[in-house]
Amino acid sequence: MSKITVNIPQHQYEIVTGKNILKSLPAYLNSGFKTNRLFFIIDSKMYKRNTSKVDQVLTSTGNRSVKMLLTATEKNKTYESLIKIHRRMIKSGCGRDCIVVAIGGGITGDVTGFAAATYMRGVRYVQVPTTLLAMVDSSVGGKTGINLDTTKNIIGAFHQPQRVFCDLEFLHTLDKTELICGMGEVAKYAFLTNEKFYDYVYHNFDKILKLNNSILNRVVSESVNFKRNVVEKDEKESGLRKILNLGHTFAHAIESVLNHKIKHGQAVVAGIAMALYLSGELGILNGDKAFKYFRLLEKFKPYINFPELNTNKMYNVMKHDKKNRQNEIRFVLFNDFGNLLLDVKAGKAQVMLAVKKGLEFFA
């Protein structure tokens, strides 16, 4: 088991990672809070595959607990879901002292976190991420939100959890595609952290997919620790935190144009490839190591198949990315492991070429 403490101004919380640590959740909820309502929002697909494990938590927390299931799709990451959650919270008698608990992937965590952030001007919540992506990324750092029309995560709030429980056992019921998606965010951390971690992820790629416990523990902990460090320095993304968006400007546009026919983590991998190509176009990337940078991305090729993609539409979506300033697209670009450039502008021709090369890489 590993414990990482996040120190945000006026709020400190722990991220606990390990096998079967869900067992410690009831004791934490029972001892840590004075409240008469624990409101659980639970990913329905995950729940089907882990019913007794999750029910044990609900039973152990007694009749204070209310369970609400959520079907985790991007189409459900909406105001409609938010309203349903809030209505149910009101009906269940949730007061300002209630604790909301998200058990699920990134969609469940983001919607639940936003529901908690906006209910009675903000109530406390706990994250129990059950996908690799949610463990290494979305459950850490307090970004919560929903989509509106075709724009992802455009409505949201920064709201930090009370604690995060990453129980690696959940990964055993996850579909392989979802593991690959989580590996997309892990790959991002491999580029952001340092060459040593990149090599570790590269050499252990297959063992991670086979859910080797100690390797998973290290990969999740290192990724979380990297994100912790960034979030502590820049909670509200006014500067440094933008590096976590490596590949994401491209990725969000891909997801939007393809109407979520490919998953976030897969889009992130393609987005990283495009960001590397764009870094090359602009002379930012360290050319001596270019061969090495794509090695990890090569590992994803068997798992990523793009349907036909309208790249002009993709460019237009990027133009409306919420990270833009003065109507210009701003990219996070890559010089070397652990060395990123923020807010880089690029011409349309260069961007379109990077998109084309990225798509060809996975063709």
Ligand X SMILES: NC(=O)c1ccc[n+]([C@@H]2O[C@H](COP(=O)([O-])OP(=O)(O)OC[C@H]3O[C@@H](n4cnc5c(N)ncnc54)[C@H](O)[C@@H]3O)[C@@H](O)[C@H]2O)c1
Of the pair 235, 281, the CB lying nearest ligand X is at 235
Q: Which of 77, 227, 242, 260 is catalytic?
A: 227
CA distance 161 to 159: 7
Catalytic residue among 143, 152, 163, 218: 143
Distance of CA 360 to the CA centre of its chain: 26
222/14 Cα distance (integer angstroms): 15
* CB distance 249 to 280 below 8 Å: no
* Active-site residue flag, 178: no
Q: Which residues, numbered 263-292, are part of the site for ligand X (CB under 6 A)?
A: 264-265
**Contact flag: residue 324 with ligand X (CB under 6 A):** no
CA atoms within 13 A on the CB side of 320: 13
**Stretch binding ligand X (CB under 6 A), from 2-10, 29-37, 137-145, 205-213:** 137-145
Q: Does 235 bind ligand X (CB under 6 A)?
A: no
Q: Within 13 A of 106's CA, how many CA atoms are on the CB side?
A: 23
- Footprint (CB under 6 A) of ligand X, residues 86-105: 104-105
> Least Å distance between CB 295 and ligand X?
24
Pairing mode, if any, of strands 143-148 and 11-18?
unpaired
According to CB under 6 A, which residues from 166 to 225 bind ligand X? 170, 173-174, 178, 181
Judge whether 320 counts as a catalytic residue. no
Closer to ligand X by Cβ: residue 218 or 264: 264
Q: Which two tokens stand for residue 303?
A: 């798992």
CA dihedral 212, 218, 220, 225 (to 10 degrees): 180
Report helix, strand and coil shares of the chain as percent, to nearest 5: 55, 20, 25
Helix axes of 106-118 and 79-91: crossing angle, nearest 10 degrees: 60
> Rounded to the nearest whole angstrom, what is the least distance from the CB of residue 248 to ligand X in the complex?
8
Q: Which two tokens stand for residue 120?
A: 């009675």
Q: Which is nearer to ligand X, 223 or 279 (CB)?
A: 223
Interface pattern 31-50 for ligand X (x via CB under 6 A): ------------x-xx--x-
Closest CB to ligand X among residues 165, 284: 165
> Is 222 designated active site?
no
Residues at the contact surface with ligand X, assessed by CB under 6 A? 43, 45-46, 49, 72, 74, 77, 104-108, 110, 130-131, 133-134, 137-138, 141, 143, 152-153, 170, 173-174, 178, 181, 264-265
Return the active site residues.
Answer: 121, 143, 185, 227, 237, 241, 245, 248, 252, 264
